[in-house]
Amino acid sequence: MADDDRRDDRRPDPDALLVLADKDRRGKLTVFLGAAPGVGKTYAMLSRAARLRTDGVDIVVGLVETHGRSETAGLLDGLEVLPRRHVSHRGRMLEEFDLDAALERRPSIVIVDELAHSNPDGSRHPKRHQDIEELIAAGIDVWTALNIQHLESLADLVGRITGITVRERVPDIVLKRADEVLLVDLSPSELIERLKDGKVYLPESARRAVDRFFRLGNLTALRELALRRTADRVDDQMVDYLKQNAIDGPWATGERLLVCVGSDVLSEKVIRVASRLASGLNAPWMVVSIERADREVETPERLQRIETLFRLAEQLGAETRRVIGHDFVDEILKLARREHATQIVIGTRRRGRMDRFLSRSLPEALAKRASGLGVYIVTPDGGDAAFAKRPLPMPRLSALRQATAIASGFVAIAAAIGKVIDLIVHLPNISLLFLLAVLGAAVSGGYLAAFFAAVLSTLAYNFLFIDPLHTFTIAAPHEVFALFVFLAVAIIAGGFASRIREQAEIAGIRAAALQSLYDFSRKLAGTAKTEDAIWLTVSHLQARLKRKVVLLLPRQGDLSMAAAWPPDTELDVTDLTAARWAHDKREAAGHGTGTLPNSRFEFRPLLGPHGIVGVCGIEHRDDRLDLNAERALTAILDQTAIALDRARLAEETVQQAARLEGERYREALLSSISHDLRTPLATITGAVTGLRQLGERMTPENRDDLLQSIEEESGRMSRFVANLLDMTRIEAGTLKPKQEWMDVTDVVQSAVERTRKYAPGRLIETGIAPDLPLIKGDSVLLSQVLFNLLDNAVKYGGEEPINVYARRDGKDVLISVTDLGKGIPPEELDRIFEKFYRRGKPDGRAPGTGLGLSIARGFVEAMGGRIHAESPAWKKKGTRIIMRFPEAEPSAMEPG
């Protein structure tokens, strides 16, 4: 039993199985990784391809760069090579990889060399690794080659090792997601010999490469990096296998990094260091930026810097998050504990003695309070002067002039009021007026105006109110003390007042944004149609962002513009291609992204709970969206996606219900026709055949019986056709009853007599009140209604008498038909008036078409009346159907 429990505990990791299932639907990426050019990556790829080609594998060469190496070029013989596309770039004709040709050819494996290559302007993707990602998404396996120095996280480290800045880089996530990483290794000494022999570059290029890059120390360091990264990748694959198969083994250490960044220059180095640290520890990591909740200190430039850092972190495989709070240390520690982080990575600048004396740095505060967590501090490079000290923020000249003017105005007013008061009465605390001036300047102009007002107030108070007057000399020592206390209080009070002003402005901005989002949500919640939702979205976004907005929806297998604001906005071919990419790949495309950045719009997919519902495009302008606008855009698009998904589901539900209802009606109609037409026709045909064959040999009684059968069945068919025609009139809305005065007594008697002819053996009792008034309506339709109700009672009422009553009830006239049959269950009382609804006889045969009561309801409502059913009618059995018609007003009566 214990063994069974242990076996049950060792279950595969669901997340690992989901990853494995997703990989089965995609193509596989194989990366041939090398420490440097010339180690034989392309040679190894082509050699392996030749072997697979011999085995019958469908493998083609999309692009291979031989760099003039005859040995490598010779391996292309016997392999299918796709033609390259020719692109004009800066006056030169380039030969580039043809992505569309590879997708059209669709081989099992395609070789695309130079993973880090940048595509020329005008290409679908800026980078080749994005082309490869599209091939993989299409289910095509890809082989490619990469040198270790092109990894994004190693760019700065490679620059320090080799002294060369690597321009073409590949996000680490590309290598991390590779299905297979094959290390092609060669010792540094052998590589240098190959270079000297001209087997890597041409002689002139080889000499320059030896002098600058191919040094023994550089190659050894790069080789170490390649070996380490390959080992990390193998460890990842081993862990994935263990998780997918529920095998006990050497699990990962469980480390998790939390990386803190800001808008300073050091943050980029912090991210790269954290990426290498996470790779070495085989640990997931999160990059976080903290914003103050009580002030809006981020400028558009700093926000753009944060966005750039977040994109870099995501390329390197990190998760990103923004946090708003007051206490940075407390927010970092709370997030670290919530995310189960084991180490915090943070950068620190060089601080002067005064800074260290006045306050503790953020890394120091973290190290003091982070019990149980490791704090990894990244310092700036020694030769980098950018981190030597933090430059003081210098206000603009216009801001200085405005602050000075505001401060001077408030101080002048306070001095004038103080002089007037001093002429009337001498007050020892006249300095409070200048404190009010400081507070007024703080509220009107911010902290800079408050600081100037505090200094000017101190000088003015000394000059005008402290003996000796009209000089800056102070005679009494206690006045000196009071003046310095006043200056300190004024600066502190001004700082608090300016802070309150900033917080009020921020609260106003956020309240306006929240109110705008609330108004949009309320209007969107009131829309039930797709058209209303999309026009509301584009108009609201255009008013909020002051940019052109388009919204495209999938229709008939393609994207088409559903709405745009302004309405005359048009999309060109590039824009439509980017929109289709955003829809198909479910990722942003167009301007500012890695796919078709030449488009005028940035297209974002609208992802609802049940899949993608459309694409929204926002026009690009020179000024980028600020943080509040970006948040509002994201929230609006999310709500729009939910609204469109809801509208789509509602439309599909209505259509499905209509289809089901149509199927039900069709089945019922076919069943009715099958029984109610075929049975009378069979009876009539049999009677006619008997009359023709027997003729005069039949007795008069038999002949009368046959003729009566023909008459009854013909009447039955006539009623069936009449019911269908009546229901058609009701459904089409062409039923227009007459509005004539009629006597209910005459209509009831006419319907009863008609029913007695149809069912001569049934007892029908009537009870009509003598004081019934005349009502307005159509006597023919009312008679048909009563006949249908009586016909229904004859079918379902058993052998008991049927009662028809008519009486006055307040201002209404009631007509009821009651039978004493089995009755109707309460849950079916409302359904008996539906089209084709039949309860069936005990033998299972469906009597009638199920249209009689439905026609009765249509006729009664057309004449302004109401109809409903009650069951049981008497002593727990029977059914009573009641009609109500309004009594005509006396003024409506026609004259005598």
Residue 142 confidence class, pLDDT cut points 50, 70, 90:
very high
In tens, the pLDDT along 799-818 reads 888 899 999 888 888 999 99
Mean pLDDT of the chain: 77
Beta carbons of 507 and 501 less than 8 angstroms apart: no
The per-residue DSSP string of 853-867 comes to: HHHHHHHHHHTT-EE
687-697 exposure pattern, b = at least 16 Cβ within 10 A, e = fewer = beebeeeeeee
Residue 387 confidence class, pLDDT cut points 50, 70, 90:
very low
Out of 338-342, 344-348, 522-526, 661-665, pick the least confident. Answer: 661-665
Asked whether the predicted pLDDT for residue 597 surpasses 90, the reply is: no
CATH topology of domain 735-892: Heat Shock Protein 90 (3.30.565)
Asked whether the predicted pLDDT for residue 286 surpasses 80, the reply is: yes
Residues 542-568 have a mean pLDDT of 84
Domains 14-245 and 257-387 share a fold: yes
Asked whether the predicted pLDDT for residue 855 surpasses 90, the reply is: no
CATH topology of domain 14-245: Rossmann fold (3.40.50)
The helix (H) or strand (E) run that includes residue 323 is: strand 319-325
Q: Nearest 5 degrees, angle CA 554-CA 557-CA 559? A: 40
Q: CA-to-CA distance for 787 and 784, rounded, in angstroms?
A: 5
Asked whether the predicted pLDDT for residue 8 surpasses 50, the reply is: no
In tens, the pLDDT along 649-667 reads 777 777 777 777 666 656 6
Asked whether the predicted pLDDT for residue 2 surpasses 60, the reply is: no
798-814 exposure pattern, b = at least 16 Cβ within 10 A, e = fewer = eebebbbbbbeeeeebb
CATH of 257-387, one of 3.30.420.40, 3.20.20.370, 3.40.50.970, 3.40.50.620: 3.40.50.620
Tokens of 586: 């479910």
Residue 730 confidence class, pLDDT cut points 50, 70, 90:
low
Residue 111 confidence class, pLDDT cut points 50, 70, 90:
very high
Residues 511-516 have a mean pLDDT of 73
Q: Which of 233-247, 684-698, 770-784 has the highest mean pLDDT?
A: 770-784
Asked whether the predicted pLDDT for residue 675 surpasses 60, the reply is: no
Q: Which of 180-194, 340-354, 379-393, 517-531 has the highest mean pLDDT?
A: 180-194
Beta carbons of 309 and 267 less than 8 angstroms apart: yes
Out of 343-347, 382-386, 404-408, pick the least confident. Answer: 382-386
| Structural domain spans, the chain | 14-245, 257-387, 397-503, 530-653, 677-733, 735-892
List, in sequence order, every beta strand (DSSP E) within 101-251.
109-112, 141-147, 180-184
Out of 130-134, 221-225, 491-495, pick the least confident. Answer: 491-495
Out of 35-49, 278-292, 618-632, pick the least confident. Answer: 618-632
Q: pTM, whole model, 2 decimals?
A: 0.48
Which phi-psi region, left, alpha or beta, contains residue 867 (left: φ > 0; alpha: ψ -120 to 50)? beta
CATH topology of domain 530-653: Beta-Lactamase (3.30.450)
In tens, the pLDDT along 864-875 reads 888 888 888 777
Q: Is 565 in a helix, a strand, or coil?
A: strand
What is the distance, to the nearest Å, from the Cα of residue 126 to the centroid of all Cα atoms in its chain?
Answer: 26
| pLDDT at site 4 | 45
**All residues at 6 or more sequence positions from 396 whose CB lies less than 8 Å from its CB, including other chains:** none
Q: Is 263 in a helix, a strand, or coil?
A: coil
| pLDDT at site 895 | 44
Q: CA-to-CA distance for 193 and 207, rounded, in angstroms?
A: 12
Q: Nearest 5 degrees, angle CA 201-CA 202-CA 203? A: 115
Asked whether the predicted pLDDT for residue 18 surpasses 60, the reply is: no
